[in-house]
Structure 1
Amino acid sequence: MAQQISEIMTADPITVTPQTEISEIARLMRDEDFGEVLVSERDHLRGVVTDRDLVVRALADDLDTHSTRAQDVCSSDIVTCTPDAGIDEAVRLMREHAVRRLPIVDGDELVGTVTIGDIALERDPDSALADVSSAQPNR
Protein backbone atom coordinates (compact mmCIF):
# COMPACT_ATOMS: atom_id res chain seq x y z
CA MET A 1 0.00 0.00 0.00
CA ALA A 2 1.31 3.44 -0.94
CA GLN A 3 2.43 5.67 1.89
CA GLN A 4 3.52 8.89 0.18
CA ILE A 5 1.69 11.24 -2.15
CA SER A 6 4.41 10.80 -4.78
CA GLU A 7 3.29 7.19 -5.18
CA ILE A 8 -0.29 8.05 -6.19
CA MET A 9 -0.13 11.58 -7.60
CA THR A 10 -0.54 12.44 -11.24
CA ALA A 11 2.84 13.77 -12.32
CA ASP A 12 3.02 16.52 -14.95
CA PRO A 13 -0.56 17.73 -14.51
CA ILE A 14 -2.37 19.72 -17.15
CA THR A 15 -1.48 23.38 -16.78
CA VAL A 16 -2.44 26.64 -18.43
CA THR A 17 -1.02 30.12 -18.20
CA PRO A 18 -2.83 32.97 -16.43
CA GLN A 19 -3.67 34.38 -19.90
CA THR A 20 -5.39 31.22 -21.22
CA GLU A 21 -8.98 31.83 -22.35
CA ILE A 22 -11.56 29.99 -20.28
CA SER A 23 -13.08 28.53 -23.47
CA GLU A 24 -9.78 26.71 -24.01
CA ILE A 25 -9.75 25.59 -20.36
CA ALA A 26 -13.25 24.13 -20.73
CA ARG A 27 -12.18 22.21 -23.85
CA LEU A 28 -9.11 20.85 -22.04
CA MET A 29 -11.25 19.69 -19.14
CA ARG A 30 -13.65 17.96 -21.49
CA ASP A 31 -11.00 16.39 -23.72
CA GLU A 32 -8.75 15.22 -20.89
CA ASP A 33 -11.60 14.32 -18.49
CA PHE A 34 -10.27 16.54 -15.69
CA GLY A 35 -12.24 18.68 -13.26
CA GLU A 36 -9.38 21.11 -12.75
CA VAL A 37 -6.43 22.68 -14.46
CA LEU A 38 -3.54 24.29 -12.68
CA VAL A 39 -2.52 27.82 -13.57
CA SER A 40 1.24 28.15 -13.70
CA GLU A 41 4.05 30.25 -15.05
CA ARG A 42 7.37 28.51 -15.65
CA ASP A 43 6.41 25.57 -13.40
CA HIS A 44 5.38 27.88 -10.55
CA LEU A 45 1.81 27.43 -9.36
CA ARG A 46 -0.30 30.58 -9.59
CA GLY A 47 -3.84 29.24 -9.21
CA VAL A 48 -6.38 26.50 -9.83
CA VAL A 49 -9.40 26.57 -12.14
CA THR A 50 -12.07 23.96 -11.44
CA ASP A 51 -15.17 23.15 -13.42
CA ARG A 52 -17.12 24.82 -10.61
CA ASP A 53 -15.03 28.00 -10.98
CA LEU A 54 -16.03 28.16 -14.64
CA VAL A 55 -19.71 27.88 -13.76
CA VAL A 56 -19.84 30.10 -10.67
CA ARG A 57 -17.29 32.78 -11.61
CA ALA A 58 -17.81 32.97 -15.38
CA LEU A 59 -20.96 31.44 -16.80
CA ALA A 60 -23.25 32.57 -13.97
CA ASP A 61 -22.09 36.14 -14.54
CA ASP A 62 -22.38 35.79 -18.33
CA LEU A 63 -18.69 36.54 -18.89
CA ASP A 64 -17.35 36.21 -22.43
CA THR A 65 -15.52 32.88 -22.65
CA HIS A 66 -13.06 34.22 -25.22
CA SER A 67 -11.99 37.36 -23.37
CA THR A 68 -12.10 35.98 -19.82
CA ARG A 69 -8.77 34.50 -18.77
CA ALA A 70 -7.69 31.89 -16.25
CA GLN A 71 -6.41 34.63 -13.96
CA ASP A 72 -9.92 36.13 -13.86
CA VAL A 73 -11.61 33.01 -12.48
CA CYS A 74 -8.94 30.95 -10.75
CA SER A 75 -8.69 30.31 -7.06
CA SER A 76 -5.43 31.80 -5.88
CA ASP A 77 -5.68 30.85 -2.20
CA ILE A 78 -4.32 27.38 -2.84
CA VAL A 79 -3.77 24.53 -0.43
CA THR A 80 -0.82 22.39 -1.55
CA CYS A 81 1.05 19.32 -0.44
CA THR A 82 4.58 18.02 -0.99
CA PRO A 83 5.40 14.79 -2.82
CA ASP A 84 7.01 13.31 0.29
CA ALA A 85 3.96 13.98 2.48
CA GLY A 86 2.05 11.00 3.74
CA ILE A 87 -1.33 10.18 2.30
CA ASP A 88 -2.89 10.76 5.73
CA GLU A 89 -1.52 14.33 5.65
CA ALA A 90 -3.20 14.92 2.27
CA VAL A 91 -6.48 13.59 3.64
CA ARG A 92 -6.17 15.91 6.65
CA LEU A 93 -5.54 18.92 4.39
CA MET A 94 -8.50 18.04 2.16
CA ARG A 95 -10.81 17.73 5.15
CA GLU A 96 -9.53 20.84 6.90
CA HIS A 97 -9.86 23.02 3.78
CA ALA A 98 -12.86 21.24 2.19
CA VAL A 99 -11.06 20.60 -1.12
CA ARG A 100 -11.18 17.60 -3.41
CA ARG A 101 -7.86 18.21 -5.17
CA LEU A 102 -4.36 19.15 -4.03
CA PRO A 103 -1.60 20.50 -6.25
CA ILE A 104 1.71 18.89 -5.33
CA VAL A 105 4.71 21.21 -5.09
CA ASP A 106 8.36 20.53 -4.43
CA GLY A 107 9.76 23.76 -3.05
CA ASP A 108 8.26 26.32 -5.42
CA GLU A 109 7.95 23.92 -8.37
CA LEU A 110 4.67 22.31 -9.42
CA VAL A 111 5.24 18.55 -9.79
CA GLY A 112 1.81 16.93 -9.70
CA THR A 113 -1.73 16.77 -8.41
CA VAL A 114 -3.72 14.35 -6.29
CA THR A 115 -7.49 14.02 -5.96
CA ILE A 116 -9.78 12.57 -3.37
CA GLY A 117 -10.56 9.92 -5.99
CA ASP A 118 -6.87 8.97 -6.26
CA ILE A 119 -6.79 8.48 -2.50
CA ALA A 120 -10.02 6.45 -2.54
CA LEU A 121 -8.63 4.17 -5.25
CA GLU A 122 -5.51 3.59 -3.14
CA ARG A 123 -7.07 3.28 0.30
CA ASP A 124 -10.50 1.75 -0.40
CA PRO A 125 -10.71 0.39 -3.96
CA ASP A 126 -14.12 -1.18 -3.28
CA SER A 127 -15.74 2.11 -2.21
CA ALA A 128 -18.37 3.96 -4.19
CA LEU A 129 -15.97 6.92 -4.59
CA ALA A 130 -13.29 4.63 -6.04
CA ASP A 131 -15.86 3.18 -8.46
CA VAL A 132 -16.95 6.64 -9.59
CA SER A 133 -13.34 7.83 -9.89
CA SER A 134 -12.34 4.90 -12.08
CA ALA A 135 -15.45 4.95 -14.31
CA GLN A 136 -15.28 5.95 -17.94
CA PRO A 137 -16.12 9.60 -18.66
CA ASN A 138 -19.77 10.46 -19.19
CA ARG A 139 -19.57 12.41 -22.43
Structure 2
Amino acid sequence: MATKVRDIMTGSPTSVSPELDIVTVARAMRDEQIGAVLVAEGDDLKGVVTDRDLVVRGLAAGGDPAQVKIGGIASKVTATVRPDDSTEKAAQIMRERSVRRLPVLEDGRPVGIVSIRDLASGASGEDAAAALADIGAARSTT
Protein backbone atom coordinates (compact mmCIF):
# COMPACT_ATOMS: atom_id res chain seq x y z
CA MET A 1 0.00 0.00 0.00
CA ALA A 2 1.01 3.60 -0.57
CA THR A 3 2.75 5.33 2.29
CA LYS A 4 3.49 8.73 0.79
CA VAL A 5 1.04 11.40 -0.29
CA ARG A 6 2.73 11.57 -3.71
CA ASP A 7 1.70 7.96 -4.34
CA ILE A 8 -2.02 8.65 -4.01
CA MET A 9 -2.53 12.37 -4.74
CA THR A 10 -4.09 13.80 -7.86
CA GLY A 11 -1.22 15.63 -9.53
CA SER A 12 -1.30 18.75 -11.66
CA PRO A 13 -4.28 20.31 -9.90
CA THR A 14 -6.48 22.75 -11.74
CA SER A 15 -5.90 26.27 -10.46
CA VAL A 16 -8.06 29.29 -11.19
CA SER A 17 -7.73 33.01 -10.59
CA PRO A 18 -9.81 34.46 -7.74
CA GLU A 19 -11.17 36.96 -10.29
CA LEU A 20 -12.95 34.34 -12.42
CA ASP A 21 -16.72 34.16 -12.16
CA ILE A 22 -18.35 31.04 -10.74
CA VAL A 23 -20.02 30.11 -14.04
CA THR A 24 -16.65 29.90 -15.80
CA VAL A 25 -15.19 27.80 -12.98
CA ALA A 26 -18.24 25.52 -12.86
CA ARG A 27 -17.92 24.87 -16.59
CA ALA A 28 -14.21 24.12 -16.24
CA MET A 29 -14.95 21.67 -13.42
CA ARG A 30 -17.62 20.01 -15.54
CA ASP A 31 -15.38 19.79 -18.60
CA GLU A 32 -12.46 18.39 -16.60
CA GLN A 33 -14.75 16.13 -14.55
CA ILE A 34 -13.34 17.33 -11.24
CA GLY A 35 -14.97 18.23 -7.94
CA ALA A 36 -12.49 20.82 -6.67
CA VAL A 37 -10.13 23.52 -7.91
CA LEU A 38 -7.40 25.49 -6.23
CA VAL A 39 -7.75 29.26 -6.21
CA ALA A 40 -4.36 30.86 -6.74
CA GLU A 41 -2.59 33.98 -7.87
CA GLY A 42 0.52 32.68 -9.56
CA ASP A 43 2.03 30.18 -7.11
CA ASP A 44 0.29 31.83 -4.14
CA LEU A 45 -2.50 29.52 -2.96
CA LYS A 46 -5.56 31.53 -1.87
CA GLY A 47 -8.18 28.84 -1.32
CA VAL A 48 -10.07 25.78 -2.51
CA VAL A 49 -13.47 25.62 -4.18
CA THR A 50 -15.55 22.47 -4.42
CA ASP A 51 -18.63 21.74 -6.46
CA ARG A 52 -20.58 22.01 -3.19
CA ASP A 53 -19.15 25.50 -2.58
CA LEU A 54 -20.41 26.56 -6.02
CA VAL A 55 -23.94 25.59 -5.03
CA VAL A 56 -24.06 26.58 -1.36
CA ARG A 57 -21.94 29.74 -1.33
CA GLY A 58 -22.40 30.76 -4.95
CA LEU A 59 -25.77 29.96 -6.43
CA ALA A 60 -27.84 29.69 -3.26
CA ALA A 61 -26.52 33.04 -2.03
CA GLY A 62 -28.31 34.77 -4.91
CA GLY A 63 -26.98 37.38 -7.24
CA ASP A 64 -25.81 36.99 -10.79
CA PRO A 65 -23.55 33.89 -11.04
CA ALA A 66 -21.71 35.48 -13.95
CA GLN A 67 -20.72 38.34 -11.62
CA VAL A 68 -19.85 36.39 -8.44
CA LYS A 69 -16.06 35.97 -8.19
CA ILE A 70 -14.70 32.57 -7.25
CA GLY A 71 -12.32 34.15 -4.73
CA GLY A 72 -15.33 35.33 -2.76
CA ILE A 73 -16.68 31.82 -2.20
CA ALA A 74 -13.41 29.90 -1.80
CA SER A 75 -12.72 28.02 1.41
CA LYS A 76 -9.62 29.26 3.16
CA VAL A 77 -6.78 26.73 3.15
CA THR A 78 -6.24 25.77 6.78
CA ALA A 79 -3.73 22.99 6.18
CA THR A 80 -1.57 21.49 3.48
CA VAL A 81 0.70 18.50 3.10
CA ARG A 82 3.90 17.82 1.17
CA PRO A 83 4.31 15.05 -1.39
CA ASP A 84 6.71 13.18 0.89
CA ASP A 85 4.43 13.34 3.94
CA SER A 86 2.88 10.06 5.00
CA THR A 87 -0.68 9.17 4.15
CA GLU A 88 -1.21 8.73 7.88
CA LYS A 89 -0.26 12.38 8.44
CA ALA A 90 -2.69 13.47 5.71
CA ALA A 91 -5.49 11.41 7.32
CA GLN A 92 -4.69 12.87 10.74
CA ILE A 93 -4.82 16.45 9.42
CA MET A 94 -8.10 15.77 7.60
CA ARG A 95 -9.59 14.31 10.76
CA GLU A 96 -8.40 17.20 12.97
CA ARG A 97 -9.53 19.90 10.50
CA SER A 98 -12.70 18.15 9.30
CA VAL A 99 -11.71 18.55 5.66
CA ARG A 100 -12.04 16.10 2.81
CA ARG A 101 -9.32 17.55 0.56
CA LEU A 102 -5.83 18.88 1.23
CA PRO A 103 -3.68 20.83 -1.21
CA VAL A 104 -0.25 19.31 -1.69
CA LEU A 105 2.55 21.90 -1.78
CA GLU A 106 6.16 21.48 -2.79
CA ASP A 107 8.51 24.41 -2.32
CA GLY A 108 5.43 26.54 -1.63
CA ARG A 109 3.79 25.68 -4.97
CA PRO A 110 0.63 23.61 -5.40
CA VAL A 111 1.49 20.27 -7.05
CA GLY A 112 -1.56 18.21 -6.19
CA ILE A 113 -4.63 17.53 -4.10
CA VAL A 114 -5.16 14.56 -1.82
CA SER A 115 -8.74 13.64 -1.04
CA ILE A 116 -10.52 11.33 1.36
CA ARG A 117 -11.19 9.14 -1.66
CA ASP A 118 -7.46 9.00 -2.46
CA LEU A 119 -6.76 7.98 1.14
CA ALA A 120 -9.47 5.33 1.05
CA SER A 121 -7.89 3.71 -1.97
CA GLY A 122 -4.42 3.85 -0.40
CA ALA A 123 -5.35 3.26 3.25
CA SER A 124 -4.11 0.27 5.15
CA GLY A 125 -4.42 -0.87 8.70
CA GLU A 126 -6.92 -0.27 11.47
CA ASP A 127 -5.68 3.26 12.24
CA ALA A 128 -6.15 4.44 8.66
CA ALA A 129 -9.63 2.93 8.50
CA ALA A 130 -10.60 4.64 11.76
CA ALA A 131 -9.24 7.97 10.57
CA LEU A 132 -11.20 7.73 7.33
CA ALA A 133 -14.39 6.92 9.21
CA ASP A 134 -13.84 9.98 11.42
CA ILE A 135 -13.27 12.22 8.41
CA GLY A 136 -16.35 10.87 6.65
CA ALA A 137 -18.51 11.52 9.70
CA ALA A 138 -17.17 15.05 10.31
CA ARG A 139 -18.85 18.15 8.93
CA SER A 140 -16.93 18.99 5.76
CA THR A 141 -15.48 22.44 5.24
CA THR A 142 -13.89 21.66 1.84
TM over 0.5, shorter chain: yes
Distance 1:69 1:104 in 2: 24
Distance 1:49 1:123 in 2: 25
Amino acid at match of 1:109: R
Tell me the TM-score normalized by structure 2.
0.82
| Structure 2: 5+ residue stretches without partners | 133-142
| Structure 1: 5+ residue stretches without partners | 130-139
Contact 1:48 1:78 (8 Å CA) reproduced: no
Amino acid at match of 1:33: Q
Is 1:72 paired with 2:72? yes
Which residue of the partner structure matches residue 43 of structure 2?
43
Listed as ranges, the matches of 1:1-139 within 5 Å are 1-123=1-123
Distance 1:93 1:104 in 2: 12
Aligned length: 126
* SS in structure 2 of the partner of residue 104 of structure 1: strand
Contact 2:46 2:77 (8 Å CA) reproduced: no
Distance 2:30 2:78 in 1: 23
Distance 1:93 1:40 in 2: 22
* SS in structure 2 of the partner of residue 85 of structure 1: coil
* Two-structure CA RMSD over aligned residues (Å): 1.8
Tell me the TM-score normalized by structure 1.
0.83
Distance 2:50 2:70 in 1: 10
* SS in structure 2 of the partner of residue 38 of structure 1: strand
Which residue of the partner structure matches residue 133 of structure 1?
none
Contact 2:82 2:106 (8 Å CA) reproduced: yes
Distance 2:26 2:93 in 1: 27
Contact 1:104 1:110 (8 Å CA) reproduced: yes
Contact 1:38 1:49 (8 Å CA) reproduced: yes
Distance 1:48 1:114 in 2: 12
